[in-house]
Amino acid sequence: MESQVRVRFAPSPTGALHIGGARTALYNWLMARGSGGALVLRIEDTDRERSTSENVEQILDALRWLELDWDETHSQHERAPHHRERLRELVEAGHAYPDPATAEDVKAWKHAHGGAGYRGEPREEAGAAIRLRVPDEGETVVEDAIRGEIRFENRLLDDYVIARSDGSVLYNFAVAVDDAEMEITDVVRGDDHLSNTPRQLVVLRALGAKPPRYAHLPLLHGPDGKKLSKRHGAVSVEALREEGYLPAAVRNYLALLGWGTEDDTTLMSTAELVERFSIERVGRSSAIFDEQKLRWMNGRFMRELPLEEYERRVTAHLGSTDPAAREAFESAPPERRRAACEIVQEKAQTLDEVWPLVRFLFEEPGDDRAAWERVMTAEAGPLLVAALEALRDSASFEPEAIEGALRALVERREVKPKQVFQPLRVAITGGTVSPGIFESLSALGREDAEARIERALGRLSAPQR
């Protein structure tokens, strides 16, 4: 009987959770939830200078926002007594030894031995670090679910340092001890850790522990093919949250960065991801993070939200990014808020795009001089007058009736639709970008819409200074 799947996400709390780290967390979460296994969150905080409590909380908050839960939490720093005990056992068993060799000593030894991996001799001296004995012959084999079998010749591996002279252990030793004691069955992480894996396997072998299965994920690149960085836009979960992405859309998009279904399905619920995800289908090539594709996907998810949930998300986002806008939004009548969400839902691709598009329903339009000068020409005045008359004559102010009245005007005047619609848009919103003009006029209401058009006409006829 196979043991329960136990995976771990092990971030170092030295900064915000990177998108690559979020994908690693997601893949581990999908493996755990898809198999009925457990996800261990292990904060690898042995770098005490850079590992801050604020960074830890930032990572936890990012995972909560992504709605990725975990079953256990551990701090690597707090496990130091376990590491020291395992270190003592290995030294006593002869698997590790004290060695005061400096970097120059190691370099000279390797030069004298034709580039072979460094082998020291036990010497109890001041400043001696603890090195792990690596076998002189044979290979250390990494069985990788993505890359297949990867072999490392032991004779080329150094007896590497696993503890400093003060007794504090180093990263690779602590990781191997923790993986063994936490009974981790699968290690899914970025391929920047691949060079660490043979070292950790040597530790596990010395401990007499069963090694986990490994899967090293190709790193994420930007659309230009270079390693993902800030020049490509949002590269942290925190930034995606601030820009108004939905957790479900981010999960869907991150899952597809390197993995795909047999039928190339693109849009999937989280339940479908859990059911269909397989680490064996992750490709070996670097995946491209393209924020434009994420925006498209997020827009699809936003359009699927029930209107009540859409309004709740907009309110929450405004609360965290623009409190004044949230106050204006919440203080408006419920029917105005609902109308705003209805007309913007087909257009906005992120929550951050919503308020600029519907602000005109809650505040007087701003003064976009460039838009005014470009659209409100001498030819626009008579058409705007005619449009106002057509709206006044319309028996209904529903979008369908407004569209019928304005399109009839376009046909009578034999002009292009934008010659009528754009001046109306500038008059009621202050700019040239808005939800559909018919829906926007209807949402604003007959009285307010006619009043704004009249003010625009007054400005057009006023002497220019």
The alpha carbon of residue 442 and the mean position of all alpha carbons in its chain are separated, in whole angstroms, by 37
Torsion angle defined by CA atoms of residues 405, 407, 408 and 413, in that order, rounded to the nearest 10 degrees: 130
DSSP 8-state class, residue 257: T
- The DSSP 8-state label assigned to residue 379 in this structure reads T
Q: Answer for the pair 17, 57: CB distance below 8 angstroms, yes or no.
A: no
Q: Under a CB-based contact definition with an 8 Å cutoff, are residues 17 and 63 in contact?
A: yes
Q: Which of the residues 107, 226, 227, 230 is marked catalytic?
A: 230
Classify 314 as helix, strand or coil.
Answer: helix
Give the pair of three-digit tokens for residue 366.
């701003």
- Name residue 422's amino acid: Q
Count of Cβ atoms closer than 10 Å to residue 334 Cβ: 9
Judge contact between 393 and 462, C-beta under 8 A. no
Tell me how many degrees the CA angle 412-414-415 measures, rounded to the nearest 5.
120
**Structure-token pair, residue 401:** 């009736």
Residues forming a β-bridge with 153:
139
To the query of whether residue 230 is one of the catalytic residues in this protein, the response is yes
Q: What are the C-alpha distances in Å from 247 to residues 241, 254, 298?
A: 8, 10, 9
**Run of H or E residues at 140:** strand 139-144
Give the rounded distance of the alpha carbon of 270 from its chain centre. Answer: 15
**Cα(75)–Cα(9) distance, integer angstroms:** 12
DSSP 4-31: PPEEEE---SSSS-BHHHHHHHHHHHHH
Residue corresponding to tokens 């801050």: 52
CA angle 431/433/438 to nearest 5° reads 100
Q: Kindly list the catalytic residues.
A: 230
